[in-house]
Structure 1
Amino acid sequence: MKLSRFFEDLMSVYRAEIEDLKSDSEGNNILKARLREKASQLPLLLPMMASNPEMLASAFHQGFIFLNPLVLEALVGKEEVRLPEWKSLSAAVRLEFWAEPLAKTVLAEPAGDRFLVTAAALEYLYRGVQSRKGSAAADADQDDDEQNEENDDRENGDLDGQYGRHGRDDGDDGDDYDLGEAGADWLAEQGFDRKE
């Protein structure tokens, strides 16, 4: 996915804004309360819509339902002057029920149409970053588990992993080799007589 300079610049400040809203000074998760507060302040923030859209866009965090990711992928590659009208995205993006009154407030403003498209694109990008982080963390955990198992095998002298996690043969290698017979063979090799 290729981001336009417009969305590339805005995305970092939007992400920082959401992260800032997530917790208080004691580390408690207070995102829902802060989002409600931000939504109630929306009419006061309208003058910042053109200069600092991320400040208002955060009021719409988790307020979009994305139906067609391909449309959004194309959208985030556009510069601000080339953004489509909000109505043109109706087949690709819907608002959550609680976000509809906020959207009406914003769309009543001259720059509201472009702002709502921008907010939807920022939220789409934010969710994509979060899911990639989650996926990368899961992949890293799996890689760590595999690496730890491999290190255990090395420490136990089992370089090809044939002895499992504990570095010894558990006897389940598919053949019916008798351990007693193996012991007798070894003793015979050492010069002892075979016991019958």
Structure 2
Amino acid sequence: MKLSRFFEDLMSVYKAELEDLKSDSEGKNVLKARLREKAEQLPMLLPMMASNPEMLAVAFHEGFIFMNPLALEALSTKEENKLPSWKSLSAAVKLEPWAEPLSRIVLKDPAGEAFLVIAAGLEYLNRSQQTRKLGASDAQDEDDEDREANEASDELKESGDLDGQYGRHGRDDGDDGDDYDLGEAGADWLAEQGFDRKE
């Protein structure tokens, strides 16, 4: 996906803002507490909405529900002067209940609608990048597991025991497993339990 220059530039500062909020001087994760503070400060931050939307957008972090990802993909390719209206996005994006009151504060400002469109775009991009990272991490884990399994198999081949120390079924029956007859073993076991052997 090719981002517009507008979203590409904003995305880097939005992620940096989230990173700054994430941990305190002792390295503890304080993101939730700091996002609550941002939400409380929102009315005072309104003058920065047009010049620094990322400063306010973080207050809406995880506050959007994306109904139509394709609409957001299309949005992220647009420059600032081509952005759609907030109303036209209403079928593609919903707000979490906790974010509704924040949106009402923002929408009182003339720049509010444009800001919500930008905030939704930034949050969508952030979430999709995290999903891609998680997917790549899962794929890496699977690759590591496959590699370990292949290495174990190679070791067994080298030792000349492809089926493992105790044969394919993991038991030491004192036999090489080639002429092992399951039916005969069953009959032996039944005979040991006191049943007559079937001929």
Q: Is the 8 A contact 1:163 1:169 kept in 2?
A: no
Q: Is the 8 A contact 1:38 1:59 kept in 2?
A: yes
- CA shift at 1:97, angstroms? 1.1
Aligned to 1:19: 19
Aligned to 1:178: 179
- The one-letter code matched in structure 2 to 1:5 is R
Q: Is the 8 A contact 2:156 2:162 kept in 1?
A: no
Aligned to 1:153: 153
Task: State the alpha-carbon separation in 2 of the partners of residues 25 and 95 from structure 1.
Answer: 32
Percent same amino acid at aligned positions?
64
Q: CA RMSD in A?
A: 2.1
Task: State the alpha-carbon separation in 1 of the partners of residues 61 and 167 from structure 2.
Answer: 54
Query: TM-score with structure 1 length normalisation?
Result: 0.81
Aligned to 1:184: none
Q: Is the 8 A contact 1:7 1:76 kept in 2?
A: yes
Task: State the alpha-carbon separation in 2 of the partners of residues 94 and 72 from structure 1.
Answer: 12
Aligned to 1:80: 80
| Structure 2 residue matching 1:158: 3-state secondary structure | helix
Q: Is the 8 A contact 2:66 2:93 kept in 1?
A: yes
Task: State the alpha-carbon separation in 1 of the partners of residues 51 and 167 from structure 2.
Answer: 68
Aligned residues: 173
| Structure 2 residue matching 1:94: 3-state secondary structure | strand
Structure 1 gaps, min length 5: 180-196
Q: Which consecutive segments of 4 or more residues in structure 1 shift more than 3 A?
A: none
Task: State the alpha-carbon separation in 2 of the partners of residues 158 and 46 from structure 1.
Answer: 68
Task: State the alpha-carbon separation in 2 of the partners of residues 169 and 118 from structure 1.
Answer: 63
Deviations 1:10-35, CA, capped at 9 Å, x for gaps: 11111121122122122222111111
Deviations 1:34-69, CA, capped at 9 Å, x for gaps: 110000111111111111111110000011111111
Q: Is the 8 A contact 2:21 2:34 kept in 1?
A: yes
Aligned to 2:130: 130
Task: State the alpha-carbon separation in 1 of the partners of residues 100 and 83 from structure 2.
Answer: 21
| Structure 2 residue matching 1:78: 3-state secondary structure | coil
Aligned to 2:162: 163
